[in-house]
Structure 1
Amino acid sequence: MSQAKGYKGRFRAPLFAALALAAAPAMARDIKIGLPVDCTLGEDCYIQQFFDRNPAPGVVQDMACGTLANDGHGGVDFAVPSLRAMKDGVDVIAAAPGTVVAFRDEMPDVSSLSEAAPDLEGRDCGNGVVVDHGGGWRTQYCHLRLGSVTVETGQKVRMGTPLGQIGMSGRASFPHMHFTLRKGDLKVDPYGPDASATGECSLDTTPQGVWLEAPDYVPGGLLQAGFADHVPNIAQVREGMVTAAETPADTAAMVVWGYAFAGQIGDEIEIIFTGPEGEIGRHIEELEKGQPFLLRGYGKRTPVMGWLPGDYIGLVIHRRDGEEISRKRVTTTVPGEAP
């Protein structure tokens, strides 16, 4: 990250060295922050991971007593469901007023798991921006889309000023923006800076922390659903599959698929497929292992005489402990006149 456009692309060492995760007790809450992305959570973006409050290695605990974090995860990940959504553009915005003190905008949007990934030594954040808010508070915005950064060092920003767009640069394997809040040299949880390394959590309510309006804790759920003429693979879905408004009567098959995040052992995914004459079929599957992302599909081969004209509806439901946590509904139409 640079202080000028011609900088070689490394973050300034004091800003991006490995930092301790423990937060000082009784930390002054002299900052209030807004949502750092210009999107609607639960509709066109979502939170993939929260801050890990448990300092013990190998043990994960988020602020809601769950495990929606990686071990040592020192921020909040705001994600979009597909590369198509990333390419359409979702703005990353300043969470509070301040001054830009560093930025980088030169790294490609390539999965860090890919053989084509660049050297990431010292550049895990990828393209990003750091804003100083005074009083020892700083925010950092990582994995921004190449070419999207719109600010420079020394620039004053207001809450809501566009900084760049969600991308997949640096150490990222899905399109998202990693948001970090720091007080001095400490990474802290915006849902409760004083509790950042205490292991404290709340089962009942989403903590307010330093948010003006705290984003809700969503423990997983469906990101996308659609119809296809085959069972898609996860790479196709991550690219951004779109269900056609119309499906030909002689298509090879009709498959309803659902793509979800943060699946846990014992979760159920139910797929219900209906057509002009009622229910065509349904399928329920229980997860045998936890999965950060999961794709399930169910459908039928095309009848000999083809599909009847009319509307076909796919409903995908994600349940946990018997309770519905998410659902997606998708429709396609076979054109023609009903017999």
Structure 2
Amino acid sequence: MRLSAFSLMALSLTVPEIAQAQEMLFRLPAACEVGRTCFIQHYVDHDTSPGSQDYRCGTLTYDGHDGTDIRLPTTAAQKAGIDVLAAADGKVLRTRDSMEDISVSGRGRESVENTECGNGALVDHGHGWQTQYCHMAKDSLAVKPGDTVKAGDRIGRIGLSGATEFPHLHFTVRKDGEVVDPFTSGPASQACGAGQQASLWEPSVQSALAYQAGSVLNKGFAPGPVTMEAIESGASEQNTPTTSSPALVAFVRAIGLKGGDVQVLTLFDTDGKPIAQNKAPPLDRDKAQWMMFAGIKQPAGGFRPGLYRAIYRVERDGKPAIEQAFGISLRL
């Protein structure tokens, strides 16, 4: 979805000469660790047709998407508070801070028409460069129009406002009004894989932002059946199994899966013996997210104390694409 620089009252501002275009570099605009406490869900769409392709010609985007989505693993993580940070020095042009943190899935996108960005901020960095920060939490903004910010200054907190179904920061970069992909330094209209892939991210964060064609968003163990709602809320992480639980269930939620991917989740006992396995049929199409679990009911006398492990594997085009191992020590 293209999120316009939301229309609020414009201010006459003198923007400082902050950086030359060729010197523009951005910090990670969120106070989180990519791959652990936050994940890249979507990139800029580089396909000008009704289709969609990210900068690596992959599927981690959708038609018309004009920014980078930095997603939190659960709504519990969002409520705990993750700061949104200024990506570079600049001056705040416009803000919004009054929209509720409610998923659009239950109320319809028409309810946020013309306010799709939700609570957000627009920052001018000089020389035609601007950054936009969307979907922040209500009443979390720490800046107002006219404020000068330094890179790393707190702007607000990641929220669930506007046109979104999950807590994330939608971060957009523009140069002279045109969307630029910070992973390539080129415009969104540039075909994927074309030209020099010169990142606009600071060197300190480039390795953390290395392209991942799919990731495990959540993983863990539960004492019974698991739902997508329980994973999203964080409730599934709070109910820890014990040796007397009615069941032992390993679960994962992955993002960025492709049509044809084959997923296998295997649960192993304390001796390393497989005791449950879920092998899903090949995916019929690309999936933004997918949840699966494998488990067994409590045996007579309860589960043996000790370390139980699970391994989640994704095979893509006949080759390993994702592998994640995790475990739990069951106690009496």
Flag whether TM exceeds 0.5 (same fold): yes
Structure 1 range deviating more: 273-282 or 124-133: 273-282
1:155 maps to which of 136, 147, 157: 147
1:246 Cα deviation from its structure 2 partner: 5.6
Matched, 1:294 2:287: no
1:236 maps to which of 213, 230, 241: 230
Do the aligned residues in 2 keep the contact of 1:317 with 1:328 (CA within 8 Å)?
Answer: yes
- In 1, distance between residues paired with 2:10 and 2:172? 15
Quote the RMSD (CA, aligned, Å): 2.4
What residue in structure 1 maps to residue 41 of structure 2? 48
User: Normalised by the size of structure 1, how large is the TM-score?
Assistant: 0.85
Number of paired residues?
313
- In 2, distance between residues paired with 1:111 and 1:31? 34
1:307 Cα deviation from its structure 2 partner: 1.1
What residue in structure 1 maps to residue 279 of structure 2? 284
- In 2, distance between residues paired with 1:261 and 1:67? 11
SS at match of 1:287: coil
- In 2, distance between residues paired with 1:235 and 1:242? 9
How is 1:5-84 mapped onto 2 (pairs within 5 angstroms)?
11-12=7-8, 28-56=21-49, 58-84=50-76
Query: Could you list the per-position Cα deviations for residues 270-325 of structure 1 after superposition, in whole angstroms to 9, with x for gaps in the alignment?
Result: 21212223322333223233211100011111112221122222222333234333
Structure-2 change in CA distance of 1:269 and 1:155 (3 Å): same
What residue in structure 1 maps to residue 129 of structure 2? 137
1:116 Cα deviation from its structure 2 partner: 8.2
- In 2, distance between residues paired with 1:63 and 1:117? 27
Matched, 1:318 2:314: yes
Do the aligned residues in 1 keep the contact of 2:140 with 2:156 (CA within 8 Å)?
Answer: yes
Which amino acid in structure 1 is aligned with residue 132 of structure 2? Q
Which amino acid in structure 2 is aligned with residue 186 of structure 1? E
SS at match of 1:84: helix
1:180 maps to which of 169, 172, 180: 172
- In 1, distance between residues paired with 2:60 and 2:272? 38
1:305 maps to which of 301, 306, 316: 301
How is 1:107-126 mapped onto 2 (pairs within 5 angstroms)?
107-115=99-107, 119-126=111-118
1:35 Cα deviation from its structure 2 partner: 1.2
* Aligned residues with identical type, % of pairs: 32
1:126 Cα deviation from its structure 2 partner: 0.2
- In 1, distance between residues paired with 2:308 and 2:122? 48
- In 2, distance between residues paired with 1:292 and 1:245? 26
Which consecutive unaligned segments of at least 5 residues does structure 2 have?
Answer: 1-5, 12-19
Which amino acid in structure 2 is aligned with residue 222 of structure 1? V
Which consecutive unaligned segments of at least 5 residues does structure 1 have?
Answer: 1-9, 16-26
